[in-house]
């Protein structure tokens, strides 16, 4: 059993004991139950699930990753036959993501002066809703070749 000092376990920094992180893990794990879901001692977690943009949409494999008071969303195994991976707007890709066939979505913009997502916001109203919206615009993009979503993507 870990020793405690001022409600913080030794060897783990204060951020890792963030109750918001545990709340997010619990909410996402309840909505997307999967035996691969995991949370680590430092508070980072991975939640795997399937999500649709709407009732007529395709089903996509997603992974929610929380790390150091931020959340990112990866979409796995998209069919890239119709469009090159590098042509898809509002994503982050790397050599590793190309090899493993996933993309990380660009869902929100946070700057020093303005934040779209604050750690503690409700996930259903932000990250999950934005993921569904991104998937909706992705499906339109596959049909038309034009991105109809708004926002600005960092360079």
**pLDDT score, position 89:** 83
- Residue whose tokens read 């034009």: 146
In a domain, 75, yes or no: yes
pLDDT tens figures, 6-55: 444 444 444 545 788 888 999 999 999 999 999 987 778 999 999 999 99
In a domain, 53, yes or no: yes
* pLDDT computed for residue 2 by the predictor: 46
Q: What is the pLDDT of residue 121?
A: 86
pTM for the full predicted model: 0.80
User: Is residue 88 in a domain?
Assistant: yes
Average pLDDT over residues 60-81: 83
Residues 6 or more apart whose CB falls under 8 angstroms from that of 25 comprise 39, 45, 47, 66
In a domain, 86, yes or no: yes
Largest CA distance in the chain: 58
Is 151 within a domain?
no
| Domain assignment present for 152 | no
Number of domains in the chain: 1
The 3-state DSSP composition of the chain as helix, strand, coil percent (nearest 5) reads: 30, 25, 50
Chain centroid to CA 135:
12
Q: Which pLDDT score is estimated for 7?
A: 43
3-class DSSP state of 136: helix
149 is a domain residue: no
Which residues lie closer than 8 Å to 144 by C-beta, 6 or more apart?
Answer: none
Query: Which of residues 4 and 25 earns the better pLDDT score?
Result: 25
User: Is residue 138 scored above 70 in pLDDT?
Assistant: yes
Q: What is the pLDDT of residue 20?
A: 83
Q: Are 36 and 48 in contact (CB under 8 A)?
A: yes
Nearest of 64, 67, 68 to residue 131 by alpha carbon:
64
Q: pLDDT tens, 77-135? A: 776 555 676 778 888 877 776 677 788 888 887 665 656 777 788 899 999 999 999 99
Separation of alpha carbons 2 and 71, rounded Å: 27
Q: Averaged over 55-76, what is the pLDDT? A: 89
| Other beta carbons within 10 Å of 37 | 17
pLDDT at 155 over 70: no
**Domain-embedded: residue 100:** yes
Question: What residue numbers bound the domain in which 81 lies?
Answer: 4-144
pLDDT of residue 81: 55
């Amino acid at each position: 059993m870990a020793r405690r000092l001022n409600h913080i376990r030794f060897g783990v920094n204060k951020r890792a004991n963030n109750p918001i992180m545990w709340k997010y893990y619990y909410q996402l794990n309840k909505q997307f139950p999967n035996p691969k879901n995991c949370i680590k001692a430092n508070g980072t977690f991975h939640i795997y699930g399937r999500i649709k943009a709407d009732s007529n949409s395709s089903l996509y494999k997603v992974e929610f990753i929380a790390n150091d008071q931020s959340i990112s969303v990866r979409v796995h195994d998209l069919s890239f036959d119709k469009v090159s991976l590098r042509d898809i707007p509002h994503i982050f890709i790397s050599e590793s993501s190309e090899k493993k066939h996933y993309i990380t979505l660009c869902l929100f913009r946070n700057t020093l002066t303005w934040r779209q997502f604050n750690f503690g916001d409700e996930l259903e109203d932000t990250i999950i809703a934005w993921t569904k919206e991104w998937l909706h615009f992705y499906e339109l993009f596959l049909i038309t070749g034009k991105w109809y979503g708004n926002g600005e993507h960092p360079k």
